[in-house]
Amino acid sequence: MYKTTRLQSVLIQYKWPLFLCLFIPCVYGADDNESWTSVSFEKKLPYSLKLEFEQELRLLDQLSTFKQTFSELSLSYKVFDGLILQVPYRYSTYKEQDKVKQRLSIGGSYKYSFKPVSLKYRARIQRTFEKKEPSEDMIRNKCTVDYKMNKSIKPYISTEIFFPFNEDSVQLDEYRMSFGLTVDINKKNSMKIFYIFKKEDLTESDTNVTNIFGLSYSLKL
C-alpha cells in the first residue's frame, strides 16, 4: 500500500472531474466521433523476448460506420528494466473496397517509476505501404504518465506527436491527447477504457479533429 499525503489525497479526489472538464470543449468541437475496440494477446519467450498480437476494429460517422480493422504482430526485446525495443507489423483493411495498408515499425520505450507514479517515453519510426501509392514515413513520439491507485486500478494521461518525413522537411502533422483507466482483472487479464482527442492534417489549411472512445482487453498467455 502506498503512503498518501494530504495533498495527494486532494489531487486524487478532485483531479479527474477537473481534468474531464478540460476535455468538454474538445468533445463538442470535433468533426467526428470514433470508437476503437481491440483484443490482444501476449506471450513471453526465452532470451527476454515477448510476442504480442492485437486485433482492432474502428468505427466512424458517430460510431455507426466501419472504418478499418487491423491485425498487428510485434516482437519486443527487454534490454534491461525499463528499456524495451520493439518491431511491430500491421495489416489493415478499410471500408473502401480493395484498400489495404501494411505498416512496418521499429522503436523503443523507456519507463521510469517512482511509486506510485510512472513516466514512459516511446519513440517509433514507421513506414506504411499501400498498393499503387507512395510509401508514407512517420516519426512518432509519445509520453505517458500513470498513477497506480491500488493493485488493480491505474489512471493515465498521454500525448503523442506525429512527424511525416521525407528528403525535404519534417513537420508536425498530427497530435493526440489521451486519458484513460487500466484495470487489472487478475494476473493475466486486464482492460483499458480510454478517450483520445486527435487533431490531424496540421500541415493543411483545413485540419481534422476527432474524438475517439476506446475499450481494449488484454490476455497474458
Domain locations in the chain? 6-220
Q: What is the pLDDT of residues 38-90, one digit of tens each?
A: 999 999 999 999 999 999 999 999 889 999 999 999 999 999 999 999 999 99
Strand partners, 68: 58, 94
Nearest to 70 by CA among 45, 44, 39, 48: 39
Quote the pTM value.
Answer: 0.86
Per the CB < 8 A criterion, the answer to whether 147 and 156 are in contact is yes
pLDDT bin (cut points 50, 70, 90) of residue 10 is: very low
What are the cell numbers at 46? 526465452
Q: Is 203 helix (H, G, I), strand (E, B) or coil?
A: coil
Q: For 184-218, b where at least 16 C-beta lie within 10 A, e where not — what string?
A: beeeeebebebbbbbbeeeeeeeeeebbbbbebeb
Q: Regarding predicted confidence, which is higher, 169 or 62?
A: 62
The set of cell numbers assigned to 53 is: 498480437
Share of the chain above pLDDT 90, in %: 70
pLDDT digits (tens, 9 = 90+) for 58-72: 999 988 999 999 999
What CATH superfamily classification does 6-220 receive?
A: monomeric porin ompg (2.40.160.40)
